[in-house]
Structure 1
Amino acid sequence: MSASRLEDLVADYLSHLAVERGLSGNTIAAYRRDLARYTDFLAGRGLEELSQVSAVDISEFSRQLTDNHLAQASVARAVVAVRNLHSFALAEGRVAADVAHDVSPGNRPRRLPKALSVEAVEALLKSCDTTTTEGLRDRALLELLYGTGGRVSEICDLDVDDLHGVLADPQIGLRLVGKGNKERVVPLGSYAARAVTAWLVRGRPQWAGRGVVTPALLLNQRGGRLSRQSAWAVMQRAGKRAGLTEKLSPHSLRHSFATHLLDGGADVRVVQELLGHSSVTTTQIYTLVTAEHLREVYRSAHPRALRGGSS
């Protein structure tokens, strides 16, 4: 079984991705870059054929990318490209064994959600001028996002009828429809209830007659349903008014909702249900945030914390 030179093999593999698998041009370009790094690495080791490569070589390639300060996600992607190349070579009968099969691409680092402080959230909410129709709408939106932990799409999809029963009896809870049309019921706090009531009584009627009649709870100035893009713009304006320098999106309030609950002693499985996560593993990333906060407090406040002094 003859071995193929690396350049020919890579060219055949990229052609296979384009013609037989129909991958996009951007994806193929990424594979080409990653495999060019790989062939350069192997050439530097005097390896010209894939049959000469060992699992140790591939692990060293991954380590070199990391040492060159390539992002971990990019390292993982490159190793996946290499593994797929070796798998292709084996399937084509161009090598006798797939030495890359057991080489782990590594875990992509989990990005810790950026939660606002309680003070920052309060400043954001108070920045809304509730003497205006827009301010009433904005305050209702932000209070709902922070008070329920709902996704922006879930909040923008709410209709007036979804709130009437809850406002009359808060114990009913607010029904949110999440990913995959999965429903969950979340409590509606008193601050959010008051903000929504103020919007329904003093704000929404001002805009409701401007466009096509809609059951939507939150409206834009034309009388239509507030979009996710418009909700993002509301956050940007509110953050600017509040003097916040953090990068903000509606999801910032969902992150803050979860983090503040855990900081207050809520069980992670309760937070999982409130967020609508199908797995508690997804929710547990927030526990990393609160653990880091605890470490920061300890390092800054405890007299025996390590600060570079002698023991």
Structure 2
Amino acid sequence: MPDVRPAPDRQLPPAPDGQLPAALERALRDYLAHLGVERGLSTHTVAAYRRDLGRYAGHLARAGRTRLDQVTEADVTDHVTVLRRGSDGAAALSPSSTARALAAVRGWHRFAQAEGLTAGDPAAQVSAPSSLRRLPHALSVDDVARLLDAAGTGDGPLPLRDRSLLELLYSTGGRISEVVGLDVDDVEGVVGAASTSSPGGGTVRLTGKGDKERVVPVGSFARTALEAYLVRARGPLAASGRGTPALFLNTRGARLSRQSAWAVLQGAAERAGLTQHVSPHTLRHSFATHLLAGGADVRVVQELLGHASVTTTQIYTMVTPDTLREVYAAAHPRALR
């Protein structure tokens, strides 16, 4: 199931604990424990599953099902229909929100089958509602260069910090929470002799969803910016605080917040004259898109992004009709020239 936050007040309310049949409630509790403990999902993600599956369990209870082995494919299909149409005063869900809820249902039934609670999977053949899949917004290489050039104008601690922050976001494809969550010890092979002696250059250790760590290489532009920040800027910023292992610091010497990092990016985008909306995820999308356009294997990009499934990464391989025509014209031996 994609880690997408639910839209509050737009979803059907789950059946409260204690009002579900005991067997359903126990099966749901066991699955949520599996998600949190064995799969290591965050509390926010487990809560999203609880809302989606609590609503589904309530639907089953109203249909007279007291155990998962009584559920039929028709029950699952009816639930999807209710979500799309809305009921009991609750607004209908969008196709994407319904698909997310169905993904939770499928996961629960797969778990139940694997645990021997059911003989089959009634959700396996139920299709999610179709919806147009949007391509992630990515900047061009030239626009990224303009943005990064505008990030740190000057030689003081804050311009050096801001430039290294945005360079690192684009160089690693890290989420904003991962990059502001970095400690100094998470950076290797960047400063001094280590920056030239380390094979392939420096690296950072990012901690992603479910506390999963991954080591990502740092490009030469980001290494240069990061070394300048560490050598000439972090010390003065740290002197105003009580001491913290955080890599990126604010003016009080504490860890830079996500909101402040957003402000840094927005300021750079304005100075660069970029008219389109730019967010930290825009740099992440640009990182993936530019790597794939340069010939990187999708599974390598998957590892760099920290995606659990290559399916999530494959959205970046989608191309526009114009690109298809250009590639066809350039590559097909019988294309019109």
Task: Report the TM range for the smaller structure's normalisation.
Answer: 0.5 to 0.7
Write out aligned runs for 1:148-227 (5 A): 148-167=172-191, 168=194, 169-171=197-199, 173-227=203-257
Aligned residue for 2:233, secondary structure, equals: helix
| 1:149 CA drift (Å) | 1.0
Output the CA distance in 2 between the equivalents of 1:251 and 1:179.
15
Q: Which residue of 1 aligns with 2:296?
A: 266
Output the CA distance in 2 between the equivalents of 1:140 and 1:204.
11
| 1:74 CA drift (Å) | 6.5
Rg comparison, structure with higher value: 1
Task: Note the residue ranges of structure 1 that are not aligned, 5 or more in a row.
Answer: 1-12, 32-53, 81-99, 305-311
Aligned residue for 2:277, secondary structure, equals: coil
**TM-score, normalised via structure 2 length:** 0.60
2:142 to 119, 136, 140: 119
Q: Letter of the aligned partner of 1:163 in structure 2?
A: V
Aligned residue for 1:73, secondary structure, equals: helix
Q: Which has the higher helix share?
A: 1
Output the CA distance in 2 between the equivalents of 1:151 and 1:101.
32
Cα deviations across residues 47-94 of structure 1 (Å, max 9, x unaligned)?
xxxxxxx99xx8xx89x98xxxx95337769999xxxxxxxxxxxxxx
Return closer, same or farther for 1:210/1:18 CA change in 2, 3 Å cut-off. Answer: same
RMSD between aligned alpha carbons? Answer: 4.3
CA contact (8 A) 1:115 1:253 kept: yes
1:282 to 312, 320, 323: 312
Q: Which residue of 2 aligns with 1:91?
A: none
Aligned residue for 1:114, secondary structure, equals: coil
| 1:255 CA drift (Å) | 0.8
Output the CA distance in 2 between the equivalents of 1:73 and 1:207.
44
Aligned residue for 2:295, secondary structure, equals: coil
Q: Letter of the aligned partner of 2:221 in structure 1?
A: Y
CA contact (8 A) 2:190 2:227 kept: no
Output the CA distance in 2 between the equivalents of 1:275 and 1:78.
24
Output the CA distance in 2 between the equivalents of 1:110 and 1:301.
22
Aligned residue for 1:284, secondary structure, equals: helix
Q: Which residue of 1 aligns with 2:158?
A: 134
Output the CA distance in 1 between the equivalents of 2:259 and 2:156.
21
Aligned residue for 2:214, secondary structure, equals: strand
Q: Which residue of 2 aligns with 1:73?
A: 96
**TM-score, normalised via structure 1 length:** 0.64
Output the CA distance in 2 between the equivalents of 1:105 and 1:273.
27
Output the CA distance in 1 between the equivalents of 2:135 and 2:328.
25
Q: Letter of the aligned partner of 2:145 in structure 1?
A: E
Q: Letter of the aligned partner of 1:20 in structure 2?
A: Q
Q: Letter of the aligned partner of 2:185 in structure 1?
A: D
Q: Which residue of 2 aligns with 1:244?
A: 274
Output the CA distance in 2 between the equivalents of 1:103 and 1:109.
19
| 1:127 CA drift (Å) | 0.4
Return closer, same or farther for 1:133/1:178 CA change in 2, 3 Å cut-off. Answer: same
1:296 aligns with 2:319: no
| 1:222 CA drift (Å) | 1.1
Output the CA distance in 2 between the equivalents of 1:234 and 1:282.
28
| Percentage of matched positions with identical amino acids | 54
Output the CA distance in 2 between the equivalents of 1:192 and 1:157.
17
Output the CA distance in 2 between the equivalents of 1:130 and 1:261.
30
Q: Letter of the aligned partner of 1:252 in structure 2?
A: T
CA contact (8 A) 1:177 1:184 kept: yes
Aligned residue for 2:278, secondary structure, equals: coil
Task: Note the residue ranges of structure 2 that are not aligned, 5 or more in a row.
Answer: 1-11, 26-46, 56-73, 86-92, 104-122, 331-337
Write out aligned runs for 1:82-101 (5 A): none
| 1:268 CA drift (Å) | 0.4
Q: Which residue of 1 aligns with 2:171?
A: 147
